[in-house]
Amino acid sequence: MEKGVERALRRAGHNTRLIDDKRAKRLIGRTLTQRWALLHARRFKPDFVFLSKCQALDLKTVEQIIAGRDNSMWYHDPPSYRHIDRPHIAHLAAVGRLARTFFVSGFVDEWAALGLPAKFLPSCADIALGPTRPDRDSASQVAFIGTGYDATRARFLIDIARKFDVKVWGPGWEQWRQHLRWNGRGVYGRAFARVCSSASIVLGINPVIGEGATNYSSDRAWVVIYAGGFYLGQASEGVTSLLRGGTHCAWYRDLDDCVRKIGHYLEDSTDRERIRREGHRFVREHHTYDQRIENLLSGEEFVNPLG
């Protein structure tokens, strides 16, 4: 996400300096990382500071870097407000309270209740990861890309796999490998785009932690659609206002509805291809980092192009 933001800023004509505090901490330790980050800030003299999680930076360091400078923060894992008692989430929230604007891709009211200046800004796609040539090794009727940490999501996929050819991509699926066709590794970058372009349908399944979401979805919807995939995702009232079912993607309500939608779109490849093309066009025009930097720089909340 950080590199996607930086590339978009550079395409828009801005000079940037991206520092990786987490990597610096591994290499030189936490104490020297504070000095290293402050040195970069003094030398570069930014007009604007974009904050990520800042897990390896002390709050005092963040305060010094953003002092007198416009800034914003953008967090893409909003259901974690439920775990504010965990140290890394508590630290992230503390950094968010220092920011002028804390953009979050969902659960805005919940984060605001924790004292953060929260505004809604959905995730998006990176224009560097567009459609690729379909690949036989990456092909399947249904693909799911994600980490195997949620048993309910695994059971959902196992039920789908009883009826269709399903291929799962991502780490952590060892305990379900007897029931799912799993390649044993994750896919990133161009390999991710190849899977999206090669599968007939790419499935989105909300994790349990996302229960109660309205307009929240992970970045999976945007990146799958932009990477050339036909996206079939789990519906909520808010997220279906961001992408129109039957126009940009397809939505399902429960397992039975998902099975019906998969059967329909596997059979009707013309309809599937129409939606895939229109979805890609829509995401390219409205939901990439190149559009999101306007919000990040201005502090203005996202305005849904669909009204």
Q: How far apart are CA 174 and CA 48, in angstroms?
A: 44
**Same domain flag for 99 and 193:** no
Q: Against a cut of 0.85, is the pTM above it?
A: yes
Question: What is the pLDDT, as a whole number, of residue 216?
Answer: 78
**Same domain flag for 223 and 140:** yes
Q: CATH code at 276?
A: 3.40.50.2000
**Same domain flag for 207 and 270:** yes
Q: Is the pLDDT of residue 304 over 70?
A: yes
Sign of CA dihedral 74, 80, 82, 88: negative
Q: Is the pLDDT of residue 29 over 90?
A: yes
**Same domain flag for 114 and 140:** no
**Same domain flag for 107 and 162:** no
**Same domain flag for 117 and 210:** no
Does a structural domain hold residue 271?
yes
Does a structural domain hold residue 303?
no
Domain span at residue 102 reads: 2-121
Q: Is the pLDDT of residue 211 over 80?
A: no
Question: What is the pLDDT, as a whole number, of residue 290?
Answer: 98
**Same domain flag for 116 and 184:** no
Q: Is the pLDDT of residue 209 over 70?
A: no
**Same domain flag for 59 and 197:** no
DSSP code of residue 46? -
Total of domains in the chain: 2
pLDDT-derived band of residue 186, with 50, 70 and 90 as boundaries?
A: confident
Dump pLDDT digits (tens) for 50-73: 999 999 999 999 999 999 999 999
Does a structural domain hold residue 199?
yes
Q: Is the pLDDT of residue 123 over 70?
A: yes
**Same domain flag for 211 and 264:** yes
Distance between first and last Cα of the chain: 26
What is the residue-averaged pLDDT of the chain?
95
Task: Using DSSP, state whether 162 is helix, strand or coil.
Answer: coil
**Same domain flag for 81 and 146:** no
CB 121 within 8 A of CB 103: yes
Last residue of a domain, one of 121, 152, 185: 121
How is residue 41 written in tokens?
């800030």
**Same domain flag for 140 and 117:** no
Say which residues have a Cβ less than 8 Å from residue 117's Cβ, sequence separation at least 6.
Answer: 96, 97, 99, 100, 101, 102
Percentage of the chain beyond pLDDT 70 is 98
Q: Is the pLDDT of residue 210 over 70?
A: no
> 142-180: string of b/e by CB count within 10 Å (b at 16+)?
bbbbbebebeebbebbeebbeebebbbbbeebeebeebb
- If you search the block for the tokens 């508590």, which residue do you land on? 90
Lowest-confidence pick of 142-151, 203-212, 296-305 = 203-212
**Same domain flag for 140 and 78:** no
Last residue of a domain, one of 66, 96, 121: 121
